[in-house]
Each structure stands twice: as structure tokens, then as C-alpha cells.
Amino acid sequence: MEIESLLDCQERGANARILGVPAHENPYSSDAALLSEEERRLLREAWAFGWIIEDSVRQNETGVYAFLRAEAASVASHWGRP
């Protein structure tokens, strides 16, 4: 399997998390896809990894989103805005 395929699959997992798809709805968890067991395992893990990374970034006190919230609050307080 090519690395580009795995990276695309990670991106699909991250996008699924952004759209609110639960982790247990990994499309590569079923045998429906006409892939070998090894390919399905690799894609399932790549999708899950993308989902988990996006989820960890979106936690309240971690990641870039927390930094952006803190930065916005800092700028607002500097300019006297609530």
C-alpha cells in the first residue's frame, strides 16, 4: 500500500471527526470493502489515527484550538473588549 493512500485515509478520519462521526463508525472496520485483510487493517488504523489526532487537537485545554482561544482572549483584553 502506498503512503499517499494511508495519508489520504488519515485525512478522511480527521474530516470524519470534524463532521462529528463517532470513532466506532470507522468505514474500514467492516468486511464490506473488497480489500485484503492487510489492506483493510492498514486503512482502518490510518483512519482511526486521523480521527484520534483531530480529537486530541479539539480537546478544551490542548492543541491549536486552545492556543487560538487564548490568543483571541489576550487580544480582546488588550483592546478592552470582553
* pLDDT at residue number 51: 93
d(CA 5, CA 63): 26
> If the chain, 82 residues long, is cut into consecutive pieces of 10 residues, what is the mean pLDDT of each piece?
92 93 91 81 95 82 64 70 54
Q: What pTM was computed for the model?
A: 0.70
Quote the pLDDT of residue 49.
95
DSSP designation for 31: S
Question: Please, what is the end-to-end C-alpha distance for the chain in angstroms?
Answer: 51
pLDDT of residue 80: 62
3-state secondary structure of 34: coil
Strand, coil or helix: 67: helix
Query: Which cell is 73 given?
Result: 482572549
47 close to 9: Cβ distance less than 8 angstroms: yes
pLDDT of residue 3: 92
